[in-house]
Amino acid sequence: MAVAAQQIEAVRAFNRDYTRRIGVLSPQLYDSPWTLTQVRVMYEIAHRPGILAAQLSTELGLDRGYLSRILKGFSAQRLLQRTPSGADARRQHLRLTAAGSRAFAPLERRSQRQMGALLGRLDPGRREVLLAAMRSIREVFAPPGLPVALTLRAHRPGDMGWVVARHAELYFREFGWSEEFEGLVAQITADFIAHLDPARERCWIAERDGQRLGCIFLVKGSGGSARLRLLLVEPAARGLGLGAHLVEQCLTFARTAGYRRVVLWTHANLRAARHLYRRAGFRLTVSEPRHSFGKPVVSETWQLSLTGTGRSRGVARR
C-alpha cells in the first residue's frame, strides 16, 4: 500500500523534533564518553544482568560485529564481565562490573532528571495526552497479537512496599491468607535490603509503561545454594509468559554468580507457580502439611541443581 508523501514527511518532522528535545544528537550522550548506542547497550546489561550477547544483537537490531566492538571497549575499560554459558561455552553472559555499575549510575540519574524536566513543563492534562500518545505509538508497532514489551529492571525506592502490599492483597483475595503472610513478606524484603550482596543477590521488577506487573528475588542460601523467593505476577499480566521469563532470568543470574543449586519454598495450592518451577527443571524434595497464614496448607521445598543431575542434600528450607 502506497504511503502519501505528506504522511512520510510528518513522521520525519516528528523524529527530528523529538530527537532534538531528548538530546540524542550530540556525539556523546549526557556529557559522557559514550555514544547513544553504547549507553543503550550498557543500560540493557545493567537492567538484565546475565543477558547473552546474541540476545542484545537481536533485540537492539545491532550488527554483531559492531556490538562486539562495543563490548570489547567496555571490557578494556573494565566495565564488563563475561561468563561462558554452561550450556554452550561459545555463548557469553554479560554483566557490569562494580566499576561498570558506578559508571552507569550517573547516566541513569541524568536520564531520569532529563525526562522529569521534559514532563514537568507540561500541566497534568497535557502530560497524560503525551503519555497516551506514546502508548498508542508503541501499541501500533507491536507485532499482531502481542502486548507492548515488558521490561525487567533492578529494584529502586518504593518497590519493596509494592512487593509487600501486592503479595498481601493478592494472596488474601485468591487464597484467603491472613496478615501473617504479609508480615513474612515484609521480613523477607527487609532482610534483602539490609544484607544485599549485589554481586550474588538480585531483585527484578517487571513493568510495562511504568506499571509494575511482577517481581522475583534471588538471595544467598547455604552450602553453595541460592534461594528463589517472592515470585509474583499481577493478574493483568498472566498468560503472557512473564512468570517463566522471571524464573529464567533468576536462574541465568544464579549460574553466572556461581551457585551450585537453587532452592525455593512454596505451597501445593500455588498450582501455576509449581507448573513454572517444574518446567524450569526444579524437583519437589520436601512436602509437609501444616497450618500457616490462617489456613491448612501443604508447604513444599523444591530444588534445581546447576552443576549436574542428581539431588543435593542438606538444603535449608525457605
Distance CA 203, CA 215 (A): 7
Q: What is the pLDDT of residues 92-142, one digit of tens each?
A: 889 999 999 999 888 888 888 888 888 899 898 888 888 878 877 876 776
pLDDT score for 89: 63
**Whole-prediction pTM value?**
0.56
Cα 114 to Cα 30, 110, 118, 304: the distances in Å are 9, 6, 6, 43
Domain 151-305: what homologous superfamily? Gcn5-related N-acetyltransferase (GNAT) (3.40.630.30)
Of residues 15 and 29, more confidence is placed in 15
In the predicted model, is pLDDT for residue 266 greater than 80?
yes
Q: Which of 103-117, 159-173, 178-192, 253-267 has the lowest average pLDDT?
A: 103-117
pLDDT score for 314: 36
Q: What is the DSSP letter of 223?
A: T
CATH 1.10.10.10 fits 5-121, yes or no: yes
User: Is there a contact between 299 and 247 (Cβ–Cβ < 8 Å)?
Assistant: no
Locus of grid cell 561459545: 90
Confidence class of residue 177 from pLDDT cuts 50, 70 and 90?
very high
Q: Which of 23-32, 181-190, 270-279 has the lowest average pLDDT?
A: 23-32
Distance CA 258, CA 171 (A): 33
Q: Where are the domains of the chain?
A: 5-121, 151-305
Residue 137: other Cβ atoms inside 10 A:
12
